[in-house]
Structure 1
């Protein structure tokens, strides 16, 4: 459990930023859903709830989501549901129960970089950036790989509107549990494949996608080869939810199935 010496409501982003720099044991409050399971002693817990970071805004090119937007608000938003045949909304809906998703925030979910995350996996297959206070916009993939400056504040998630088809699959022992593995695929002009819960953090395949780019025939033989290559290039492990070999089998199976589903929806001249 987290033990907090002082709770503080920030008056501005600059105020919060300065307090983060003052003491490494100062931290931001997201939805607070994992505080009970985190063992830390904090000097100051900084609340950003008065700073207007819970809105979803959009224009013709992108969707901008405030860091304190709840997972549930994202899940039911019409523009989110329209992305990739609803695969992003589906992934959000697979996270715990509705009550949990009414509390958990997208900023906390991304900034924490959880290895069991069900939302990072589909987000990686889209063109997504994060906005960091005071002065940086960074692609999501780069943000996840970067240890970064913990005093920077994630204020917004920026999702480019895309017309492609998506696929998401989560495998768990029981409903509302953490994933054993999850797979996301998105195809627009190019195809992206991500696998999470291995039990490492979600990651895109790179070598597997080259097989698709170099192929002129798109069938189950190709999809099986791509799935095998994807599993080969990613690192898998084991924990109490599943063995390494079981996770590899699941990932290979659902990458192949996902590719078949996504490509079956795509108009042939664009394949």
Structure 2
């Protein structure tokens, strides 16, 4: 049995917000794959839960009139992986969330919960950073949009107020048109594993597929929050895809912008080794997916 004070099934986002305002001890629950674990462990025991799990307005992926992509916060990982729009425009995100837990978790867990949980190890987080996604929140004061790079405030903490509902994510067309990417998750085992390190790289190649016009590098578990390595990105732009010195510097520059810690999963030193190596591996795979013939 879970130690839950009360459980309320919201009929709309506004209804959920009202329920949160009314009960100062209440918190949001969607798929429950994170919240119920905290309740079972006693961290959130005795609290009220407001469920948004069955709100259709929070589910699905759609292409907006302006060409941007909308991903509902209540969309499950399995749906994202198999969605035709995700497969066409940002398959990297589908690949990343397909590494979350096992099939049961992926069928129930949602991308909104994965991001709002605030964990640096979230498999969707580093990819969403390289996509420069915007987080759409609605609360008692109305709706607001927060860039994902400004969403995290610390380990397990975000700017989302307790009475706010994450409605979804907007990915601008300029962040996916002409881009390809690759995500690498390193763990001690192949399945049902929390990332020891996650590395996401996105590239935009020149028309002849020989030069890197733009690049983005993101990490999970390389610091207290997900992060981008802007210095490494700047150093690689404009270089030939087979410039081995530039690719080597790409990994070295990443080391100057991370702050991993030692945990029972891995030492800081091992994570630093992964940070440098995985950046190069993910970059090469992203270039190959973009049609570049790389031999560096």
2:50 match = 46
User: Counterparts in 2 of 1:22-61, with a 5 A limit?
Assistant: 22-38=22-38, 39-52=43-56, 53-59=58-64, 61=67
What is the DSSP-based 3-state SS (H/G/I as helix, E as strand, rest coil) of the residue aligned with 2:45? Answer: strand
Which deviates more, 12-21 or 226-235?
A: 12-21
Q: Is the alpha carbon distance of 1:131 and 1:42 closer, same or farther for their aligned partners in structure 2, counting shifts above 3 Å?
A: farther
2: distance between equivalents of 1:247 and 1:177? Answer: 16
1:89 match = 94
Uncovered stretches (5+) of structure 1, i.e. residues with no partner: none
1: distance between equivalents of 2:201 and 2:189? Answer: 23
| The one of 145, 150, 155 aligned to 1:137 | 145
1:169 match = 184
What is the DSSP-based 3-state SS (H/G/I as helix, E as strand, rest coil) of the residue aligned with 1:249? Answer: helix
1:158 match = 170
What is the DSSP-based 3-state SS (H/G/I as helix, E as strand, rest coil) of the residue aligned with 1:167? Answer: strand
Which deviates more, 228-237 or 1-10?
A: 1-10
Asked if 1:74 is matched to 2:80, the reply is yes
> Where does structure 1 differ by over 4 angstroms across 4 or more consecutive aligned residues?
215-218, 264-268
Q: How many residues align?
A: 266
Give the Å deviation of 1:97.
Answer: 1.2
Q: Is the alpha carbon distance of 1:64 and 1:230 closer, same or farther for their aligned partners in structure 2, counting shifts above 3 Å?
A: same
1:198 match = 222
2:196 match = 180
Uncovered stretches (5+) of structure 2, i.e. residues with no partner: 205-212
* Contact map agreement 2:31 2:53 (CA 8 A) in 1: no
Q: TM-score, normalised by structure 2?
A: 0.82
Q: Is the alpha carbon distance of 1:232 and 1:9 closer, same or farther for their aligned partners in structure 2, counting shifts above 3 Å?
A: same
Give the Å deviation of 1:100.
Answer: 1.2
2: distance between equivalents of 1:51 and 1:248? Answer: 41
2: distance between equivalents of 1:21 and 1:59? Answer: 31
1:253 match = 277
2: distance between equivalents of 1:8 and 1:2? Answer: 15
